[in-house]
Amino acid sequence: MTVLVTGGAGYIGSHTVLYLKERGIDVVVIDNMKKGHRPAVLDVPMYTGDLADGSTLDEIFQKHDIDSVIHFAADSLVGESVEDPLRYYENNVNGTLQLFKKMLEHSVKKIVFSSTAAVYGEPKSIPIRESDPTFPANPYGETKLAIEKMLKWADQAYGLKSVCLRYFNAAGADPKGRIGEDHQPETHLIPIVLQAALGQRDHVAIYGEDYPTEDGSCVRDYIHVIDLAQAHYLALKKLDQTNESGIYNLGNGQGFSVKQVIEACRRVTDKDIKAIASPRRAGDPAVLIASSQKAEEELGWKPQYTSLDTIVEHAWQWHQNHPNGYNDKE
């Protein structure tokens, strides 16, 4: 079995590629390398190209016996999507549409798709279940939901089977320290706090201390990137065994506030990390916590690294050894 991984040089993509390789699955990666990192992809055939340009996909489907696709390639910053929504529709929706067309042309009918908790918008109840209403609060979530819907209809019309995985807050790094998280610019909480621990930032801004939560800061569900990788592996197995489509949340089921995350980083790094109360960031719901019961029951998913301190330890190991990330960009 050979799996095509789009966006395999990105953060979650590269950890999933490593996880699959370690389980003896052949992988081919396509990435446009705008945000991806070449050193993050270890010992795997790698193609540089955009999904929208079908010629790279044609070449891959002709050269390799691709059985299924895991589709990570996308723009994924909420703020950026609000500023430039058409770019998000173009890269995410149009790129994906071309991928689906090429898959069908080459008779590949199984896909695992990276979706997001952002499809829910402001949640009506906590923990969030897959059956809860979806009202994205930004174009990023809107494009991911549009693709989920495209998949529903493509299943009905062409038998394109999919597993959509709605990630909560991906965090951590390869426990063996081989690869990790490197975004330019970094916007995610844990790497930002660790950059402050390394002295690369003066302080961490806490975006809002007046939310209706215990300590006033936002609560999120942080899930280890290797546990996300495990879910992709199980999703592929499920598609193979049952040929049935499904949608699953992937989270820890536990919420941690911004202040608790900063405390965990202080504990793990043993550094004083300055934190400064700052205005709210637009579009942040107060609390996002997943129910992942469905993934546990139907995929047999069992997150391994559920402690926040372990997640931070693995991220810290990477950041200490790679203070400038992969350092592979101009």
The Cα–Cα gap between 296 and 311 comes to 20
CB of 108 or CB of 189, closer to ligand UDP? 189
Q: How far is the CB of 278 from ligand UDP (least distance, A)?
A: 7
> Rule CB under 6 A: which residues touch ligand UDP?
78, 169, 187-189, 192, 204-207, 218, 220, 258, 281, 284
Q: Least Å distance between CB 88 and ligand UDP?
A: 15
**Residue 188 CB, nearest approach to ligand UDP (Å):** 4
CB 123 within 8 A of CB 285: yes
C-beta of 30 vs 119, nearer to ligand UDP: 119
Nearest residue to ligand UDP, using CB?
218
Strand order across the 2-6 sheet: 46-48, 26-31, 2-6, 66-71, 110-116, 161-167, 246-250
Among the options 140, 211, 222, 305, which is catalytic? 140
Give the nearer residue to ligand UDP in terms of CB position, either 38 or 203.
203
Least distance CB 31 / ligand UDP (angstroms): 21
Q: Look up 140 and say whether it is catalytic.
A: yes
Instruction: State which residue, 101 or 281, has the beta carbon closest to ligand UDP.
Output: 281
- Judged by beta carbon, residue 192 or residue 273, the one nearer ligand UDP is 192
Q: Name the minimum Å distance from CB 204 to ligand UDP.
A: 6
Query: What amino acid positions are annotated as catalytic residues?
Result: 140
